[in-house]
């Protein structure tokens, strides 16, 4: 199958790097400190989206906004500490080659992540792909998290491409729903979730990694094939 497009938008966690279990471990540890003894499986199923929204959903008004910000910061610092020693061995296969090939063809690219700025830059710099990304949108830049498509709208705006002309790469159900809500085809990396979990989402292609994806140039844009 082939899809034509004008730009590529990437999520980070679970899409470019296989790190979601590290996030789950960091959340599990932090929630236990706060009195919620969640299993890793429950964390995987229920903890997703923007951190402040997660904390408000779980705890209501138990914490002030400032306290939620500090809790979120502590959780993300724990994640970076854990993942710093594991990141190179957890790059999704084919990621770097795919992005480098896209850059060679002159394809505009941007990032739209639900993670904070520090996490986004941590991964992007570790992978050495900052020079390829025309815009990086993180949670601190949006008012609504996924499945709202705001993060992808900002990413597309940042590279001067119409959002509906982009292909989005995601790993989560909420991220794929955001792509659907944006009117974009979505390619799902099954690093974190299995295909049956996406029954309510329209997905162009499920993939274990970026290997085997082909890029090309056509008259009025670019081509993605598999």
The domain boundary residue, chosen from 60, 83, 106: 83
pLDDT (average), residues 23-48 = 93
C-alpha–C-alpha distance, residues 180 and 168, integer Å? 10
The enclosing domain of 79 has a CATH number of: 1.10.150.240
pLDDT greater than 90 at residue 20: no
Region 135-162: mean pLDDT is 96
Per-residue pLDDT band at 48 (split at 50, 70, 90): confident
Query: What total of structural domains would you count in the chain?
Result: 2
Domain end marker among 63, 83, 103: 83
24 and 11 in a common domain: no
Residue 98 sits in the same domain as residue 165: yes
Q: What is the residue-averaged pLDDT of the chain?
A: 96
| Inter-CA distances, 119 with 17, 78, 81, 115, 157, Å | 12, 11, 11, 6, 22
Residues 77 and 127 in one domain: no
Using CA atoms, how far apart are residues 172 and 192, in angstroms rounded to an integer? 7
In Å, how far are 57, 139, 150, 164, 188 from 181, measured between CA atoms?
A: 22, 18, 10, 10, 15
Q: Provide the residue range defining the domain that includes 38.
A: 20-83
Looking at residue 207, what is its pLDDT?
98
Residue 18 burial (CB count, 10 A): 22
Boundary of a domain, candidates 49, 83, 117: 83
Q: Determine the pLDDT at residue 210.
A: 98
Domain of 176, CATH number, reads 3.40.50.1000
Claim to verify: residue 63 and residue 170 sit in the same structural domain: no
* Residue 111 binned pLDDT confidence (cut-offs 50, 70, 90): very high
Asked if residue 141 and residue 42 are part of one domain, the reply reads no
Which of helix, strand or coil describes residue 86? coil
Residue 96 and residue 9 share a domain: yes
Mean pLDDT to the nearest integer, 90-108: 98
For residue 49, the model assigns a pLDDT of 77
56 and 111 within one domain: no
In the block, tokens 């790993």 appear at 171
65 shares its domain with 109: no
Contact 192, 208 (CB under 8 A): no
Instruction: Work out the angle between the directed axes of helices 65-83 and 20-33 (0-180°, nearest 10).
Output: 130
Please state whether 60 falls in left (phi above 0), alpha (psi between -120 and 50) or beta: left
């Amino acid at each position: 199958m082939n899809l034509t497009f004008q730009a590529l938008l990437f999520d980070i966690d679970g899409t470019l790097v296989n790190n979601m279990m590290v996030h789950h471990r960091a959340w599990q540890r932090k929630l236990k400190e706060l009195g919620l003894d969640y299993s890793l499986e429950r964390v995987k199923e229920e903890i997703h989206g923007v951190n402040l929204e997660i904390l408000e959903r779980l705890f209501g008004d138990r914490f002030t906004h400032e306290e939620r910000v500090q809790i979120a910061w502590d959780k993300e610092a724990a994640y970076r500490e854990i993942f710093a020693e594991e990141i190179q061995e957890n790059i999704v296969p084919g990621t770097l080659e795919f992005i480098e090939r896209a850059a060679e063809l002159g394809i505009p690219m941007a990032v739209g992540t639900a993670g904070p700025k520090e996490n986004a830059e941590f991964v992007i710099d570790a992978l050495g792909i900052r020079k390829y990304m025309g815009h990086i949108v993180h949670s601190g830049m949006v008012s609504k998290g996924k499945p709202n498509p705001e993060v992808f709208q900002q990413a597309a705006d940042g590279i001067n491409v119409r959002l509906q002309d982009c292909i989005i790469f995601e790993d989560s159900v909420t991220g794929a729903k955001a792509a659907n809500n944006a009117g974009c085809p979505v390619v799902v990396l099954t690093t974190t979730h299995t295909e049956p979990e996406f029954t309510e989402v329209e997905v162009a292609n499920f993939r274990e990694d970026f290997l085997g994806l082909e890029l090309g140039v056509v008259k009025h844009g670019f081509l993605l094939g598999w």
